[in-house]
Amino acid sequence: MGSRRSLFEELDRPALRPLPTTRYEPAEWKTHVGVSIDYHIEFARHYYSVPYQLTGKRVDVRATATTVECFYRHRRVASHRRSTRPGHFTTDPTHRPKSHQRYAEWSPSRLIRWAESIGAQTATVVERILHRKPHPEQGFRTCLGILRLAKRHGRDRLEQACGRSAAPPTTTDTEAPMLTEETLTKLSQMRLHGFAHALTQQLDDDQYDELTFAERVGLLVDREWTEREARRLTRRLQHAKLREPACVEDLDYRHARGLDRTLMQRLATCEWITKHQNLIIEGPTGVGKTFIACALAQKACRDGHTALYRRVPRLLHELLIARADGSYSRLLIRIAKTDLLVVDDWGLAPLADQERRDLLEVLEDRWGNRSTLVAAQLPVAAWHKIIGEPTVADAIVDRLVHNAHRLTLKGESMRKTRSPLTPTKRRRS
């Protein structure tokens, strides 16, 4: 047996490889990026070319601080120096189709100089064509076709025709603001308030002039969609009436109460709500059952689900009032349509006969169609005693337990450990 050094020299060193010649660069990946009809992909609001044969395909993009690489079926097909200019194009000439490569010797400046030799109006038309295209090469054929008309019809006639084409619209400077105000009024009447605010912002800020028409419309639609989603979320949270302003990101895993981080991360995906499963949180008072329940309900609202928080005494009281004023059926339907019902303070007191039957009606409507979250101090084994009548108790427990995730907490009350007051008060001398 040799020393560790001799074994390293004999076994490990021959297998070692030299370090890379270049330093490691952190990279950002963007997968399944669509290739547009102009054989460019968009990354960070800049456009990079790929071989034109990949038009309509999807590629993976790897970006570092200095380069942008495109991969198709795990093979690199393009590499560019990274640019931070939004709305501009970076094009490799070899990526162009042959119809574009034929004009490789041409450039926008050369076409504009040719047009200026004919006249100012012709130059204006050519500049406008090149500017409107997503990539200048796409306008070369049109520009060459216009400029070659001078040979057939003469320079003067072409200049006159371009003058009529380049003439400004008849709308006066005083009419343009009026048209904009009318557009904004119509957008407000259609309740497209986010679209209207974004349009006003674009009209007031010159930096949007660098973007294409499609990009500007995309920003307007994104603004409207974002504001609508924000309003929907606000309505869902108002309807939920959560007791605690909690969110899953604020959960405290340091407190010794048996809170399983892996289980909470799985529950935070809300997949259990999509599958119409239940959740039972049990544990002694003060370990954070209500906070966790409200955090999961708030996450459900953020993911597009509706939620409703009720303590058992308040829920049973609402059912009693609804039975008296004739709105019992409507209340049951409203509860049944809620994606997540949070029932807190389960089992604090024994249930009366009418209360357990009302509770059974609520759970019967929700079984297999919606999800229910129960927060209780008592373990499941003690529920039969609290509910009372054995047949109804079996029916209620069966609809809650057998399709439920279980989260069991333990430990001392967090209200006690976090209280700024001392456990005992000093007596006055």
Q: What is the DSSP string of 246-283?
A: --GGG---SSSS---HHHHHHHTTTHHHHTT-EEEEE-
More confident residue, 205 or 267: 267
Residue 61 three-state SS: strand
pLDDT at 427 over 90: no
Residue 350: CB partners within 8 Å, gap ≥ 6?
385, 386, 387, 388
Residues 298/243, Cβ–Cβ less than 8 Å:
no
Please state the three-class secondary structure of 411-423 as a single string. Answer: CCCHHHHCCCCCC
Token output for 15: 């297998």
Average pLDDT (127-133) is 79
Q: What is the pTM of this model?
A: 0.56
pLDDT at 104 over 60: no
pLDDT at 428 over 50: no
More confident residue, 130 or 83: 83
At 413 the pLDDT is 80
At 280 the pLDDT is 96
pLDDT at 40 over 70: yes
**Chain segment 105-123, per-residue pLDDT in tens:** 667 888 888 999 999 889 8
pLDDT at 426 over 50: no
Q: What is the residue-wise DSSP string for 70-134?
A: EEETTEEEEEEE----TT-EE--GGGS-HHHHTTTT--HHHHHHHHHHH-HHHHHHHHHHHHHSS
At 258 the pLDDT is 87
Spatial strand order of the sheet with 75-81 comes to 28-34, 58-63, 67-72, 75-81
Token output for 293: 């329940």
Average pLDDT (238-245) is 92
Confidence of residue 84 (pLDDT cuts 50, 70, 90): confident
Confidence of residue 289 (pLDDT cuts 50, 70, 90): very high
More confident residue, 338 or 130: 338
φ/ψ of 394, rounded to 5, equals -60, -45
At 105 the pLDDT is 60
Identify which of 343, 394, 398 has the alpha carbon closest to the alpha carbon of residue 367: 398
**Chain segment 290-310, per-residue pLDDT in tens:** 999 999 999 999 999 999 999
Q: How far is CA 22 from CA 18, 19, 25, 64, 235, in A?
A: 12, 9, 9, 14, 53
Average pLDDT (124-149) is 78
pLDDT at 358 over 50: yes
pLDDT at 224 over 50: yes
Average model confidence (pLDDT) for the chain?
85
Average pLDDT (383-389) is 91
Residue 287 three-state SS: coil
Token output for 132: 């409107």
3-state helix, strand and coil shares in percent for the chain, rounded to the nearest 5:
50, 15, 35
Q: Using alpha carbons only, what angle is made at residue 230 by residues 229 and 234, rounded to the nearest 5 degrees?
A: 115
**Chain segment 175-209, per-residue pLDDT in tens:** 445 567 788 888 888 888 888 888 888 887 777 77
| Nearest-angstrom CA–CA distance, 371 and 300 | 11
CATH topology of domain 241-413: Rossmann fold (3.40.50)
Residue 408: CB partners within 8 Å, gap ≥ 6?
258, 282, 283
Name which of 129-138, 147-156, 188-197, 230-239 the model is least confident about: 129-138
Average pLDDT (236-251) is 91
Hey, where are the domains in the chain? 28-95, 101-165, 175-237, 241-413
At 369 the pLDDT is 94
At 373 the pLDDT is 97
Question: Residue 204 is which amino acid?
Answer: D
